[in-house]
Each structure stands twice: as structure tokens, then as C-alpha cells.
Structure 1
């Protein structure tokens, strides 16, 4: 037996022993184990996960409580489904980008131009992962999980170092870090060389010149100290995005009372809005901070050029959807529903 499998069995046994799955301490009292791969300092943790838990506590008068495990304490983002399906966690941060083999359609938010406003994107995506809707039926239902709310990280932008862009088409031949998947296809379409790497490796790669730039969310630049190695940004072209869903296992959901299900649903709606409001507000502030404090020059595309590039990038939508359609997945329909 592998070390990884042995560890998983120990975790499952421990979780069941202490009663992780919707443990009823009294008739209506429930404790839920919450696995999150993001650190407590992340804005998505503050405005998403913690806001959700606080609202649940408020709506339930403390009858629903959480054992919260941030920063990969129970497992990495790529292990979120296993944590839910095994019973190690009741709720987990499920990032489709880390689980593309399991949730390929959910990568729709990574397509260029798909996300220009975090709230619009989060609301549309959240609608699609509700029971009876296309994404839920095609992906989440089959994995025995149910999204409670979506946290969209806003549009990703092009940022470079030492390139003096006059148009995004100038990135042809540049080595740019992307999140892989659809973002890599976008970089290819613009003529760049997409490089997939962990966030922790980006700053040293920029500093050494082994990267020329990044596809990155502006509100996360300072979090990773990338402002020291970037000098130009394109704030009005969306080259993709990143979504997470905070999902509950069907095993746990079915054990909850109708009242507690309603509380989690309402708290999810609140957290969905709270998080996207922050993202939209923070990006506007980030543009000013990056320019005025860190000297990162903005390149705003004229409307005609922006439209021309966006039309060019719609081919990425088709290239992404085609192989999924061949697998019998409703990729084209999901694209249309998100636009």
C-alpha cells in the first residue's frame, strides 16, 4: 500500500472517529469539517470562506459550527474531491483548475473575455452549478458534491517586465506564466509561449528573466510580491479568470435538516455576493496602487483594438469546446450560458 493511500485511510478513520460528517451534538446542532487549501491571509478566505462561516453562525444562532482547516492542513487543492468523497471533510474549497480531469466544463471561466466583472461571472456560474442546471448535472452531481457558493477571482490581465508593449500582440514570442488549460490556449493564440508553474516560482523566474511576464489577477500582484518584477500591465483586456467553489458532499447534505440546508444556502448566497463585491472594488484600487506606488504603467487599449483582439480570441472558445463536445459534454452550451 502506498504512503499516500495509508495516510488517506488514517485521515478517514480519524475523521469518522471524531464525527466529522454533520455530527449532531443535539437535535439541531451540527459541526462541519471545512477543508481549505488557501491560507487564512488570502482575500478569498476573508471575504469568502470566513464570511460564509460567520453568516452561518449568525443565521443558525450558533447551532451550526465549523472545524476549519486552512492552508492545506487536510489536503492540497488537487485533493479536494477525495477529501469530500471519503468523508475526511464535509465542505471543501474545490478549484476546477486543479481538477480539470474531473471538472473540465467548469474551466469555462478560464476562457479569454469570459470574466470582465466578478459578480456577473460568479452569479452566472453559481446558477449553472445548481441542481437541474447544466454544470451541476454534467459534473458535480456525478462527483456527489453540491456547490454552496462560488468565489471568482476576477479577470486575469497581461503584465510584463521590460517589454514596452504598444499592443498585446507585441507579446508574440514572450514567455508568459499562465494557469494552463484555456489560458495557455489564449497565450498561444496571441503568439506567446505559455509557461505553467507554481505561484511560488513566478517571482524568481521573473527576476532571472526566464519569464517575460504573467497572466495574473491585478489584486493578487502584491500578495505574491510581483510588483518588484513587473513594469507594464494591460488593465482592460481579460485573458481568463480563476474560480473556486465551496462545496459540500452529498453524504453530509442529506443528513442535514431542511432548516439547516436553507441556512447554508442563504449563507452561500451572501458569501457569493460579498466576495465578488470585494474583487470588483479591489481591482479598481489595485490599478491605481500598481501605477502610482509601484510604477507599473497601464496600457489601455482603444475600443476598436480591444474589440479586434477579443474577436481574435473567440477562436479559443471554439478550440476549447470542440474536444469536450466530442466527449459528449455540453461545452458550447456552457460557453453560451456564461457569456
Structure 2
């Protein structure tokens, strides 16, 4: 075409910018490959010699051996890694053995302390000894035996191919609600999966695991509570804990099974460690004693109610091998 100043311009082809792609499309094979194929069809290609065939086979074998060696060297751990792993395994085994030995020592010392305490308590007023025994039951430091309730909480069944729903698992809050409900219903001693609960026990979560103090537990969670089953079972069902268990079963599919047991044995948690203590200012030597504040005299009904509460601490729970109050 003629341009504005009289020069003649040739319109470029529409696919001028696609020259390389057009060349590949029109000639998919390299000219050398095409020429070799043409010579083979015409019979003018040089014959394949025995030496060339042997060389080709040897080259293929060498490439295969090299590939295999490289794959094995990548899969096999290095000597330093193997040595470090073996050292770590030995340290773990040694640590586990040391922990087991220390646990046995703690158990033996705890039993020795218990025997010495019983000997010392045998020389004091029987009423004081019974009060101390009841306090040990309430504190969870001694084994107890008696009737009670057993609740089993199990994670809801889930589809292995689907994403896991946290609400389908038994959580720490669920166990807290159940335990508090059992205490309110009159339980005298409680344990979860063999872990005895004390006045300082904590139920909390660490990721998907539920911890009782420092022990990780897993489903199913067996909650055992010693107490008067005739009173505990209806009280638990009528309270907020019973409604909570119904919600877990009906809404989230969590398994809840409750049964009455004629006799159960709950292990003790051992001696309680005193972490912090101080002497009150008014009780220190050399300081004047502060007179105790006067309180109104209790009525006979209040005295009887307090006495019944103190005596009821170990009503159904019995120390193993000896009856409680």
C-alpha cells in the first residue's frame, strides 16, 4: 500500500510474530532425523556394526548403574546421621530406665511414710486419728475402696476421609463439668483413667490431648467416683452436669455410658508436696499474740450440721484394708 509520503509499504503477515511456532508445527522433526529416516528407507544408511551395538549396550548399563547408585546413596542415611540416631536412642532408653527407677523409689518411700504415719497416729487420740484419716481421703493421698459410679466418655465416630471436627472429641471442659457435677452430687473420691484427683489437680488441654496434672489421657475417658450411688446418680442427672452430658450425646454424638458399681478401688496420689508455707506474723516467737475475734455461739443445730459434714467425708469411701469413719 502507498503511505502518506508516497513510500510503498508491504503489510506484514498476520502470524509474523509466530514464526518459531509455525516452523515447529510445519517441521516437527529436525532435518537430520528426517534425512536419517530417508536413508533407512532407501537402504543407503550405513549398517550398524557389532562394535557400535556393544558400545551402546555398555553405555546403557553404565547409565543404569550410575542411576541406581545415586538413588541408593540418597535413600541411605549418612554415617554421622546413623551415629547420632543411635546415640539418641541410647539416651532415651537410659532416661526411661532412670525415670522408672526413681518412680519405684518414690513408691517405696511413700509406703514407708504411710507406715510411719499410721504408727504415729496409733498413739494419739482416736478422734484425731479418724479426722486425719478422713482428711487423707478427701485430699486423695491414700487408696480408697467403696461403691460408686463409673462414667465412660468416648469420642464420637468420624469419617476417616473427612476433616476432623474438634467438637467430636471429648475435651477438657467436658471432663471438668462432669467432675464438678460428681463432687456436687456427693462424690468422695474421683479418678480419671486411673489418675486420682486431689485438691490441687488440674484438668486442661495441650493440643488434642487432655491432661490431668501432667499425665496425658486419651479416649475413652473412664471417670470413677466413690460415693452413695442412690444419692449421686439422681443428683447428677438432675443437675447441670446431667443436662450437659445429654447435650454431648445428642448433639455431638459423644458416647456417654453410666453404670453403678458395688465396689471400686481408687489408687492414692501419694504424699502431697508442700511448695510454699510461712508462719503467720502473730504466731512468730517474741511477738504478742493477737486475740482471736469473738464469734457468736453456734446453735445446737449448727453444731450437729457441722459434725455431720465432717463425719460424712469418708462415708462410702474406705481406706484400702481398713474401714473409715
Decide which structure has the larger Cα Rg and report it.
Answer: 2
- State the TM-score bracket (shorter-chain normalisation): under 0.3
